[in-house]
Each structure stands twice: as structure tokens, then as C-alpha cells.
């Protein structure tokens, strides 16, 4: 799993009388003045579900297909957008920043006064550099109404699938109908008699299926009185692209060996 860390400097200008939470990003702001340090770590964004967190999840709401979540837009960006198009969208929205020279687990934020965007890239199967994750953070100089912020989020994206540890989570339905997500989790990590009857041939096969299901597109929104954090990600795309490029490299190496063997003069 890719890890996230980063540091961004955000301006200290006061927010307008009416807080703009249009996550497509507002019009360009005046140049930033005094800055303050804001550290954002992986734990704030890539929180994984645990048995404890699942037990505290509230009643289920609507589920969304992977295609629907891939079409969610966050601050003008979408998953699988090319980095060229993403840079243009962020610049047009008034964000300042540039790509790191290397595609890595560490990214610098594109920033605009009191908000920042952290876009993660990967090399897709088509060879283009695309986005697999977009993280957005906005901080407020005064306490905001969490109910109003939640209303603005649901107005944009719809009702969440669930509320988990206070976060609004939008996700796809569990794809396997013969074993529940909780039973799969328990079978993998705690074992149990029902594991003998799961539809997978082995525990390893079940674990692979479970991990792939966990890495489908997801939107997670954390709301507090002083900040808003939004995480739109598609981790499975990265893993599948890595495997694709690994398989390609292996196939190319094997073809090279085959040709070398075929053309080798043994001197016999």
C-alpha cells in the first residue's frame, strides 16, 4: 500500500462571511501573505477499517458503483485524470504548486490560502501518468457548524453509505454474496469454523479477494469544527498497474532470453 506524508504552508487570511465549500475550488485568490505550518500524515487519510470501527458503523445508506465513485469530482479533479489535465485544473482554480520530479509516496500540496490539494500519481496500463488519489484539506479560522458542513457534502455527493468513526464514507457494495465482509475479515484474521464453508478455495484466495474489495474506489470525508478533510482514492488501480508493468517486464526479459538462445552459436 502506498503511504502518504506531506507538509504544506497555508495562508492566514480570514475566511469570507459565507464559507465557500464548493469542492471544485473557488476562483483564484490574491497572493498568499503570512503562512502557517500544517502537517498532514498518512494516518489522517488512509484509515483502514478494523473490527472495532466496523462495529461502531451506523446504519447503512446507499451504495455506489465503482463507476459512480470514479466520476466523483473533488476540487476539479477526478480519479484516473492525467497529471497534465490535473495540473491545468488546479492552476485554473488558483492553486499554486508543481509536481515532484519523481512519482513517489510523498507529495507536496497544491495550495491556495486556507486549503490544499494532495494529488497522488501512478503510471497506468496505458503508460500515461494518472491520479489514483486526491486528498483535500480546508481549515477554518473560526468554528463551523458540522451539521451545515455535512449538509453541503451530501448536497454535492449524496447520502453516504455509512458513517464510520464520524467520517462520511461512500463506497461500493461488498461484491461477494456467499460470505459477508465481516465474516471474511474474521476468517482472515481470527479464523473460525465458518471458514470451511466460504466460497473460496483457500484462505489465501479469500484474503486476495478481500483486499481487492477493500481497495475499490472510495470517498471518505472527515468533518470537524476547524477543518474539513476529503479523501478520494482508488488504491486497486495502483496495485493492478504495478502488476501489469511487472508482468510486461518479465515477458520482455523472457522474450530476450528466447531470442538469445535461438540465435546462440554453440559451436557444435
pLDDT digits (tens, 9 = 90+) for 138-170: 999 999 999 999 999 999 999 999 999 999 999
Per-residue pLDDT for 205 more than 50?
yes
Question: What DSSP element (H or E) covers 116?
Answer: strand 115-123
Dig out the grid coordinates for 143 from the structure: 468554528
Q: Confidence band (pLDDT; 50, 70, 90) for 204?
A: confident
pLDDT (tens digit per residue) in 60-105: 799 999 999 999 999 999 999 999 999 999 999 999 999 988 898 8
Q: What is the mean pLDDT of residues 36-54?
A: 36
Length, in residues, of the chain: 268
pLDDT (tens digit per residue) in 210-238: 999 999 999 999 999 999 999 999 999 99
Q: Check if the beta carbon of residue 221 is closer than 8 Å to that of residue 168.
A: yes
- CA–CA gap between residue 227 and residue 139 (Å, rounded): 4
Q: What is the mean pLDDT of residues 239-260?
A: 82
Q: Check if the beta carbon of residue 8 is closer than 8 Å to that of residue 108.
A: yes
Q: What is the mean pLDDT of residues 36-62?
A: 43
* E strand segments, 156-265: 162-164, 167-170, 218-223, 227-233
Per-residue pLDDT for 27 more than 50?
no
Chain centroid offset of residue 222 CA? 13
- CA–CA gap between residue 174 and residue 63 (Å, rounded): 9
Q: Tell me the DSSP string of 128-143.
A: -EEEEEEEEEEE-SS-
**Does this model's pTM top 0.75?**
no
Amino acid at each position: 500500500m502506498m503511504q502518504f506524508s506531506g507538509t504544506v504552508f497555508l495562508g492566514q487570511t480570514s475566511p469570507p462571511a459565507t464559507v465557500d465549500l464548493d469542492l471544485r475550488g473557488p476562483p483564484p485568490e490574491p497572493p498568499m501573505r503570512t503562512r502557517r505550518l500544517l502537517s498532514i500524515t498518512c494516518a489522517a487519510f488512509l484509515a483502514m477499517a478494523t473490527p472495532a470501527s466496523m462495529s461502531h458503523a451506523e446504519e447503512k445508506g446507499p451504495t455506489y458503483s465503482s463507476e459512480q465513485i470514479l466520476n466523483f469530482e473533488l476540487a476539479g479533479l477526478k480519479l484516473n485524470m492525467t497529471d497534465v489535465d490535473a495540473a491545468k485544473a488546479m492552476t485554473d482554480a488558483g492553486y499554486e504548486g508543481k509536481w515532484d520530479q519523481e512519482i513517489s509516496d510523498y507529495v507536496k500540496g497544491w495550495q491556495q490560502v486556507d486549503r490544499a490539494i494532495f494529488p497522488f500519481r501512478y503510471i497506468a496500463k496505458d503508460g500515461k501518468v494518472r491520479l489514483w488519489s486526491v486528498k483535500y484539506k480546508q481549515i477554518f479560522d473560526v468554528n463551523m457548524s458540522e451539521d451545515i458542513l455535512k449538509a453541503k457534502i451530501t448536497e454535492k455527493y449524496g447520502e453516504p453509505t455509512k458513517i464510520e468513526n464520524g467520517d462520511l464514507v461512500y463506497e461500493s457494495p461488498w461484491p461477494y454474496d456467499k460470505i459477508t465482509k465481516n465474516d471474511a475479515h474474521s476468517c482472515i484474521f481470527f479464523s473460525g469454523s465458518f471458514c470451511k464453508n466460504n466460497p473460496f478455495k483457500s484462505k489465501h484466495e479469500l484474503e486476495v479477494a478481500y483486499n481487492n474489495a477493500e481497495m475499490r474506489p472510495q470517498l471518505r470525508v472527515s468533518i470537524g469544527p476547524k477543518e474539513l478533510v476529503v479523501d478520494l482514492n482508488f488504491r486497486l488501480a495502483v496495485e493492478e498497474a504495478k502488476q501489469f508493468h511487472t508482468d510486461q517486464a518479465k515477458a520482455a526479459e523472457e522474450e530476450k532470453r528466447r531470442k538469445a538462445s535461438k540465435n546462440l552459436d554453440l559451436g557444435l
